Amino acid sequence: MRSISQLGKFGLIAHLTENIRKGNKSTISDIGDDSAIIDSGGQQVLVSTDLILEGIHFSLVYTPLKHLGYKAVLRAVSDIWAMNGKPEQILVSVGMGSRFRLENIEELYEGIKLACDKYKVDLAGGDMTSSFTGLTIGVTAVGSAPKDSIVKRSGAAVNDLICVSGNFGAAYLGLQILEREKKMFEKEKVAEPDFSGYEYLIGRQLKPEFPVSVLEELERAGIRPSSMIDVTEGLASDLISICKHSSAGCTIYYSRIPVDYETAKAAEEFNIDPVTAALNGGEDYELLFTIPVAMHDRVSGIKDVSVIGHISGEAGSYILAGDDGSEIRLKAQGWNTAE
């Protein structure tokens, strides 16, 4: 019998839901995309939910509650944007232990409010309960989109270009730096960690932003992606998810993976290949999308978008091509549960 860790996140979801059938005509989507699609009779309603747990997704040793609230909202609404929709409301549920005081929860909700203001979504409800297992935050995001505007993971076609926004690996290296300083504090009782020179990386980990402007630029350029996903599990893992849903393969190029200078510098400190961090680190909150090859010139004019490869017709073939002609099989090495 396979273990949960062997299945991985997407494999586990597919395994648990393979025999579930829809019974309501208003339920449009199948399980597996970034958001559920519900037919409201006019525009399509998009609904997504996200859960984060203390000790699994964050450590309060180095995560300010205000930043945590902000990031919790971003995690949920990014799934709506990944379907080419517009997030409009969120519902927030919080489980907390007795060690939290009123001012702690106020700080958390201050971050939630800042994210709502920044991304123009309304806090429309939620729930709160006590917890014996640390802080838990669940955010459900609700949005909408015209029926013909929704983009799924399953639309990639052979020869489509694979495009990404921004750069990758920064959040992962930021986490490594925070964890290193945490260990030094616990071992040597260092009172003031030195984060100078790492501000960008730590910011990408603790308070990420979403590239909404890229979606706006795509719309202005008349580009509707054939498939799209927000990169949270890792570039390799999320690209493979698009390929699996589209029954296709892919080839991406080592030298085209966008990595920031600070990321590359920190990766050298940790003796990590920066592209390995970019492919497998996760929590980048960038866009990964495919477009017809005929739109190459249009997408090339959009700032912060890189073409990193193409979709192939060989399902199950996921290739990272080196500058020397070498080929390495991509693996989904993002999220896994513990054994």
For the chain, percent of residues with pLDDT exceeding 70: 84
Residue 259 contacts residue 168 (beta carbons within 8 Å): yes
Which among 274, 242, 60 is positioned nearest to 154, based on CA atoms?
242
- In whole angstroms, give the CA distance from residue 274 to residue 173: 9
Cα dihedral 228→230→234→235 (10° resolution): 40
Greater confidence (73 vs 128) lies with 73
Q: Is residue 306 part of a domain?
A: yes
Q: Say if residue 115 is in the same domain as residue 224.
A: no
Mean pLDDT, to the nearest integer, of 204-230?
97
Q: What is the pLDDT of residue 339?
A: 30
Q: Say if residue 193 is in the same domain as residue 323.
A: yes
Residue 276 contacts residue 282 (beta carbons within 8 Å): no
Domain stop point among 127, 149, 171? 149
Structural domain boundaries enclosing 325: 153-329
- In whole angstroms, give the CA distance from residue 154 to residue 135: 35
Greater confidence (26 vs 297) lies with 297
Q: Say if residue 134 is in the same domain as residue 272.
A: no
Q: Say if residue 158 is in the same domain as residue 128.
A: no
Q: Say if residue 143 is in the same domain as residue 161.
A: no
Evaluate if residue 91 carries a pLDDT over 50: yes
- In whole angstroms, give the CA distance from residue 212 to residue 196: 29
235 CB-contact burial (10 Å; exposed 0-12 / middle 13-18 / buried 19+):
buried
Give the pLDDT confidence of 149-192 residue by residue, as tens digits: 999 999 999 999 999 999 999 999 999 999 988 887 777 666 67
Which among 304, 332, 306, 305 is positioned nearest to 318, based on CA atoms?
332
Q: Say if residue 74 is in the same domain as residue 190.
A: no
Q: Say if residue 184 is in the same domain as residue 272.
A: yes
Q: What is the pLDDT of residue 186?
A: 73
Mean pLDDT, to the nearest integer, of 60-66?
94
For position 83, which CATH number holds? Answer: 3.30.1330.10
Q: For the chain, how many structural domains are there in total?
A: 2
Domain stop point among 118, 149, 180? 149
73 CB-contact burial (10 Å; exposed 0-12 / middle 13-18 / buried 19+):
buried
Give the pLDDT confidence of 262-278 residue by residue, as tens digits: 999 999 999 999 999 99
Q: Say if residue 324 is in the same domain as residue 230.
A: yes
Give the pLDDT confidence of 93-113 residue by residue, as tens digits: 999 888 888 899 999 999 999
Q: Say if residue 192 is in the same domain as residue 164.
A: yes
User: Looking at residue 58, what DSSP letter applies?
Assistant: B
pTM of the model: 0.86
Give the pLDDT confidence of 23-54 residue by residue, as tens digits: 444 444 555 554 555 666 667 888 899 999 99
The structure tokens listed for 54 are 């203390």
Evaluate if residue 209 carries a pLDDT over 90: yes
Q: Say if residue 196 is in the same domain as residue 302.
A: yes
Domain stop point among 130, 149, 168? 149
Pairing of β 249-253 and β 318-321: parallel
Classified as helix, coil or strand, 221 is coil
Q: Say if residue 137 is in the same domain as residue 187.
A: no
- In whole angstroms, give the CA distance from residue 259 to residue 323: 16
Q: Is residue 22 part of a domain?
A: no
Mean of pLDDT over the chain: 87
Q: Say if residue 183 is in the same domain as residue 294.
A: yes
Q: Is residue 208 part of a domain?
A: yes
